[in-house]
């Protein structure tokens, strides 16, 4: 049974959509096992702007930046995307692409948080098992049971209709795990419903690009592709030892998820204190190039874990253990919370320079990010300085994920000591 996709004719993104289902009904068969929905709001910020300003419906709307070319685009409506505009694009370039009647909205994070809370209430009315991954996306466990035997696709349709009634739009992935549901929800946007029935996970994932796997960051993706791992099917075919060699201790978990195996439960987010990664070397590192390469690897893995956890942080910590077993921990706080490998690495390199002199033997190196933020705080990413930084990261790395708002708060946490990689 192959995955099913639903795409109604689009009248205008941000307005009501007409519904049309394929002749073969995805909800007609029994659902065996877990059922997880990933609900992803379509062009959320721009759609809220169109909801609040009906006169903007049908027009290209961008949030962030200015038509004079200052700043970077934080979000774009689907009408704006039709002109080639996307998030993290410089406002100067967007201004050249957009029509004269395009709307440039400054953004209202309090309003977006308010709408997000209303959407969350819809989810929690369906199931107590809701995990908000960000202000505009969530996971729901709707596994059929004796107490509630309803088919998960019926729940997904009802949620889509409820969001439609709010004047917004969402896309939903239905699968047996959070990983597959998240990937599915992005296959048919906007206003899509993609169902991956039980037993078809590996078939669905196999042809997709390896970079679509949550947790595969820019550096990991480059390393995998350079070794011929181009698709999720290629990743699924790796043995654990090879995966570990290529992308570190998290490799085997990526392989399992590429095979469609992900038993991670859907639970409300617990407050995270920090995300960190460290490595103890069998032989001390002394050369600057080797240390920077290791710092880059650890940073990429930390950022991949942050994206998987749905968090972003402001304080970057570097942990060093010298040849004489003296340990030093140094930190640097950035202006706004980030999960960008480029931004975290820049702060980590500055911190490393202040704490280590090339030639000094290093037995252990670690990178951590803390001072995590909640969605309302992270929504204040429309400041031009932060948008500019994110846009630069996008252009340099060509691999940043879309701007997303994260949950959590807390303080620095240091990884455990020991031979090999350690993460927290």
Would you give the distance in Å from CA 364 to the centre of its chain? Answer: 29
Decide the pairing of beta strands 420-423 and 274-285: antiparallel
The stretch 351-357 carries a mean pLDDT of: 93
Q: Give the pLDDT of residue 272.
A: 63
* Residue tagged active-site, from 49, 126, 137, 342: 137
pTM: 0.64
Q: Is 147 exposed, middle or buried (CB count within 10 Å of its CB: 0-12, 13-18, 19+)?
A: exposed
Judged by average pLDDT, the poorest of 218-222, 336-340, 385-389 is 385-389
pLDDT single digits (tens) 62-102: 998 889 988 889 899 999 999 999 988 999 999 999 999 99
Domains, the chain, with CATH or none: 30-44+110-203 (3.30.70.270), 46-108 (3.40.1170.60), 206-258 (1.10.150.20), 274-373+408-423 (3.30.1490.100)
- Cis status, amide bond into 190, omega within 30 of 0: yes
Return the percent helix, strand and coil in the chain, to nearest 5: 35, 20, 40
Please give the Cα distance from 174 to 177 (Å, whole number): 8
Ramachandran bin of 29, using left for φ above 0, alpha for ψ from -120 to 50, beta for the remaining angles: beta
Look at 329 and 161; give whichever has higher pLDDT: 161
Q: How confident is the model at residue 9 (pLDDT cuts 50, 70, 90)?
A: very low
> What is the model's pLDDT at position 26?
54
CA angle 363, 367, 372 (to 5 degrees): 155
Determine contact, residues 7/192, Cβ cutoff 8 Å. Answer: yes
Active-site residue, 150 included: no
Which H or E run includes 213?
none
Given a cut of 90, is residue 399 above it in pLDDT? no
**pLDDT value, residue 70:** 85
272-293 pLDDT, tens digit per residue, is: 678 999 999 989 999 999 999 9
Burial of 33 (0-12, 13-18, 19+ CB in 10 A): exposed
Q: 3-class DSSP state for residue 10?
A: coil
Give the mean pLDDT of 170-184. 97
State how far the Cα of 50 lies from the Cα of 69, in Å rounded to an integer: 22
The pLDDT of residue 406: 33
423 pLDDT more than 60: no
Q: Which of 35-49, 154-168, 307-321 has the lowest mean pLDDT?
A: 307-321
Least confident of 49-53, 253-257, 399-403: 399-403
**Local confidence band at 270 (pLDDT 50, 70, 90 cut-offs):** low
% of the chain surpassing 90 pLDDT: 60
359: left (phi over 0), alpha (psi -120 to 50) or beta: left
- Decide if pLDDT at 161 tops 70: yes
- What is the predicted pLDDT for the residue at 386? 43
**Would you say 74 and 403 are in contact if contact means Cβ atoms under 8 Å apart?**
yes
The answer on pLDDT for 370 being more than 50 is: yes
Q: For 371-377, what is the mean pLDDT?
A: 58
Sorted by sequence, the CB contacts under 8 Å of residue 30 that are 6+ apart come out as none
**Cβ-based burial of 181 (10 A; exposed 0-12, middle 13-18, buried ≥19):** buried
Lowest mean per-residue pLDDT among 194-198, 234-238, 300-304, 387-391: 387-391
pLDDT digits (tens, 9 = 90+) for 128-150: 999 998 889 999 999 998 888 89
Count the residues in the chain. Answer: 424
β-bridge pairing 137-141 and 130-134: antiparallel
| Beta-carbon count within 10 A of 110 CB | 9
Judged against a pLDDT cut of 60, whether residue 255 lies above it is answered with: yes
Q: Are 161 and 170 in contact (CB under 8 A)?
A: no
- Which pLDDT band, with edges at 50, 70 and 90, does 185 fall under? very high
């Amino acid at each position: 049974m192959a995955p099913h996709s639903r795409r109604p004719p689009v009248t205008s993104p941000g307005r009501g959509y007409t519904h049309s289902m394929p002749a073969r009904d995805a909800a007609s068969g029994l659902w065996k096992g877990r059922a997880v929905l990933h609900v992803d709001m379509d062009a959320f910020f721009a759609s809220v702007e169109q909801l609040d300003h009906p006169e903007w419906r049908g027009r290209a709307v961008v949030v962030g930046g200015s038509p004079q070319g200052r700043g970077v685009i934080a979000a774009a409506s689907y009408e704006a995307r039709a002109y080639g505009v996307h998030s993290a694009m410089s406002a100067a370039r967007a201004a050249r692409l957009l029509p004269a009647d395009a709307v440039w909205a400054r953004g209202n994070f309090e309003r977006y948080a308010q709408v997000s809370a209303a959407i969350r209430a819809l989810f929690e009315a369906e199931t107590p098992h809701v995990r908000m991954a960000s202000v505009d996306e969530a996971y729901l466990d709707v596994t059929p049971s004796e107490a509630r035997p309803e088919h998960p696709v019926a729940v997904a349709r009802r949620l889509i209709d409820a969001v439609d009634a709010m004047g917004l739009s969402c896309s939903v992935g239905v699968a047996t795990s959070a990983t597959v549901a998240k990937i599915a929800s992005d296959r048919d946007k906007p206003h899509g419903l993609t169902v991956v029935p039980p037993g078809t996970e590996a078939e669905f994932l196999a042809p997709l690009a390896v970079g679509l796997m949550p947790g595969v960051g820019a550096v990991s993706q480059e390393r995998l592709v350079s070794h011929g791992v181009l698709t999720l099917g290629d990743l699924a075919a790796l043995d654990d030892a090879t995966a570990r060699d290529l992308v570190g201790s998290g490799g085997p978990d990526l392989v399992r998820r590429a095979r469609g195996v992900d038993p991670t439960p859907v639970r409300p987010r617990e407050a995270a204190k920090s995300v960190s990664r460290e490595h103890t070397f069998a032989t001390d590192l002394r050369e600057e190039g080797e240390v920077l390469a290791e710092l880059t690897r650890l940073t990429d893995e930390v950022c991949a874990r942050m994206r998987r956890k749905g968090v972003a942080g402001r304080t970057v910590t570097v942990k060093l253990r010298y040849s004489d077993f003296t340990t030093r921990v140094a930190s640097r706080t950035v202006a706004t919370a980030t999960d960008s490998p480029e931004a975290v690495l820049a702060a980590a390199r500055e911190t490393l320079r202040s704490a280590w002199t090339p030639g000094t033997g290093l037995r252990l190196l670690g990178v951590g990010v803390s001072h995590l933020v909640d969605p309302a705080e992270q929504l204040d990413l429309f400041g031009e300085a932060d948008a500019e930084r994110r846009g630069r990261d996008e252009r340099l790395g060509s691999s940043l994920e879309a701007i997303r708002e994260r949950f959590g708060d807390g303080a620095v946490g240091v990884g455990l000591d020991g031979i090999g990689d350690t993460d927290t």
